[in-house]
A and B are shown apart, each in its own frame.
Chain A
Amino acid sequence: MSPTDPLHPPATSGPLLTATALQKSFGDNQVLKSIDLHIDSGQVVALVGPSGSGKTTVLRCLNGLETPDGGTVAFRGGPSVDFGAKVTKKEALSLRDRSAMVFQNYNLFPHRTVLENIIEGPVQVQKRPRKEAVADAERLLARVGLAEKRDDYPFNLSGGQQQRVGIVRALALQPDLLLFDEPTSALDPELVGEVLTVIKELAEEKWTMVIVTHELAFAREVADQVVFMDGGVVVERGHPDQVLRNPREERTRRFVQRLLNPF
């Protein structure tokens, strides 16, 4: 296995990401009050919580889609970026390039074929040889069962297929960390399974992932760590069996109850 084999995560272990005291406000609305995250290589972290609790904002801060107002983010081997101080563009970009986001609405490029969507980053940004990027993309597509769709345009694919392409597009960048922002929320119920299956396989291969999700059963199955957020703070975190079956905090218990018995 080459170190850049796109079918496998970077072979490392130990702490990958440390984020401390992340804060973010939009106007008067303080979305993140103080968030700490510690993620080891190969770990799957499920971020759960009611809507508006700041889960998605955490992901977006890690990927540089939002700039936190305060707190630090550090990846292994990189600088600890302190958002309380002045952050240079270079520092911000160094964080962005460690992770890749899978969006709720896929956000595939509608004017490019499936294959072109996937090789865009490797070829245009990472400047890898096109032939190599295409070969990798084809192998990744085959693995998610979409080999024959390589020359289709996104609008010819179902939502589940589009999301699998979205996952492959992120994988092709060979990031240290995969970020999933409610990856199945926009899907018809019968298409959710095919996407979750892919994510589960990635978990088994020890990709490091943070998943914002409302699928608690799925979180319990794949996550090594569940982080329950509410009101911009982490209310409770720990092993999924503990947080989701025997929550210590009343707020967690109410949330889990509501999702298990919505009526």
Chain B
Amino acid sequence: MDWELLRTSFWPMLHGGLVGTIPLSITSFVLGLALALVVALMRISGQPALAGIARFYVSVIRGTPLLVQLFVIFYGLPSIGLTIDPWPSAIIAFSLNVAGYAAEILRAAILSVPKGQWEAGHTIGMSRTLTLRRVILPQAARVSVPPLSNTFISLVKDTSLASLILVTELFREAQQIAAFSQQFMLLYLEAAAIYWVFCLVLSSGQSALEKRLDRYVAH
């Protein structure tokens, strides 16, 4: 086992994780979640046109590979005159992708809040928007933490695909060092280990968040 290579390759990889993987994941997740809320609300709006657009969007995103979505944006759009740099391309692709999955999670979470909560908001004089914000979403948030955490953990791993559009992140660092040293097994296992640690940290964060939000559900 080449301990020296393991040690010297660790820092570039960790650096790739800290400046690539993690900010890419967080930015895409936040943007994706915001878009997901819009899509979820369109779907439950009761307006056939809005609901149709939302359903179509979710269907396309979930029905096509993430890698293809990424390539369409980075390699495809330039042929119609729209060239986007690697980093923003990755953010756009991952955000749109997360939104497709998270929209369904949020929709289900909102629908899981009992109808009586909407009625209670109505009877104390709240508009539907205010009821949504003050009554429904806080309760839906608690329900959606576990499935959204899964989406986020998947996203962290999926960002490795960004290496294919030349974004400097954890896996691209691993590939470059591996190509140079020819120690593929060692370096890819090391990359896997670093991803795993990231995800372990996220999982414990999920548990803490669930505990904190526990008061948001009826027992």
Do B125 and A109 touch (CB < 8 A)? no
Bound CA span A115–B30, Å:
33
Contacts of A154 in B (CB 8 A): 218
Per-position 1/0 for B130-174, Cβ under 8 A of A: 100011001100100000000000000000000000000000000
Q: Does A63 contact B (CB under 8 A)?
A: yes
* Top 7 A-B pairs, shortest CB-CB distance: A121-B124, A125-B125, A107-B120, A107-B116, A111-B216, A110-B218, A155-B219
**B-contacting 9-mer, from A20-28, A93-101, A241-249:** A93-101
Q: How far is the CB of B216 from chain A (nearest CB, A)?
A: 4
| A96–B114 CA distance with the chains assembled, in angstroms | 21
- With A96-B125, A109-B135, A121-B124 known as contacts, the answer to whether A65 contacts B119 (CB < 8 A) is yes
Chain A: minimal CB distance from B113 (Å): 10
B209 CB to nearest A CB, Å? 15
B108 at the interface (CB under 8 A from A): no
Q: Contact: B123 with A155, CB < 8 Å?
A: no
Indicate with 1 or 0, residue by residue over B88-131, a CB within 8 angstroms of chain A CB atoms. 00000000000000000000000000101101101111100010
Please provide the chain A residues from 56 to 111 with a CB less than 8 Å away from any CB of chain B in the complex: 63-65, 96-97, 100-101, 103, 105, 107-111
Residues of A within 8 A of B (CB): 63-65, 96-97, 100-101, 103, 105, 107-111, 120-121, 124-126, 153-155, 169-170, 173
Q: Is the Cβ of B124 less than 8 Å from the Cβ of A173?
A: yes
Given the known interface contacts A109-B135, A110-B216, A153-B215, the answer about A101 and B119 at a Cβ–Cβ threshold of 8 Å is yes
| B142 closest partner in A (C-beta) | A111
A184 to chain B, nearest CB (A): 17
Contact indicator A125/B130 (Cβ below 8 Å): yes
Measured between C-beta atoms, what is the minimum distance from B219 to chain A in Å? 4
Considering only CB atoms and an 8 Å cut-off, how many residues of chain B contact the other chain?
21
Q: Which residue of A lies closest to B130 (CB)?
A: A124
Would you call B217 an interface residue if the criterion is a C-beta within 8 Å of the partner chain's C-beta atoms? yes
Give Cα A110–Cα B112 distance, bound, in whole angstroms: 14
Binding site for A on B (CB under 8 A): 114, 116-117, 119-120, 122-126, 130, 134-135, 138-139, 142, 215-219
CA distance A125 to B138 in the complex (A): 18
Tell me how far the C-beta of B133 lies from the nearest C-beta in chain A, rounded to whole angstroms.
10
Task: Please indicate the chain B residues that have their CB under 8 angstroms from the CB of A173 in the complex.
Answer: 124-125
In angstroms, Cα B142 to Cα A100, docked, is: 28
Name the residue in A100, A105, A120, A169 with the highest tally of chain B Cβ atoms < 10 Å from its Cβ. Answer: A120
Q: Are A125 and B124 in contact (CB under 8 A)?
A: yes
Closest to A172 in B: B124
Closest B residue by C-beta to A169:
B124
Q: Which residues of chain A come closer than 8 Å to B125, judged between CB atoms?
A: 96-97, 121, 125-126, 173
Nearest-neighbor residue (CB-CB) of B218 within chain A = A110
- How near does chain B come to A62, taking the closest CB pair, in angstroms? 11
Distance in angstroms between the alpha carbons of A121 and B114 in the assembled complex: 19
Instruction: Give chain A residues whose Cβ lies under 8 Å from the Cβ of B124.
Output: 100, 120-121, 125, 169-170, 173
* Complex Cα spacing A125 to B127, Å: 9
22 A-B Cβ contacts within 8 A? A64-B122, A65-B123, A96-B125, A97-B125, A101-B119, A103-B116, A103-B119, A105-B116, A109-B120, A110-B216, A110-B219, A111-B138, A111-B139, A111-B215, A111-B217, A124-B126, A125-B130, A155-B218, A155-B219, A169-B124, A173-B124, A173-B125
Nearest-neighbor residue (CB-CB) of A118 within chain B: B124
The reply to whether A124 and B134 form a contact with Cβ atoms under 8 Å apart is: yes
Please measure, in the bound complex, the distance between the C-alpha atom of A101 and the C-alpha atom of B218, giving whole angstroms.
Answer: 21
B141 to chain A, nearest CB (A): 9
Cα-based distance from A105 to B219 in the complex (angstroms): 14
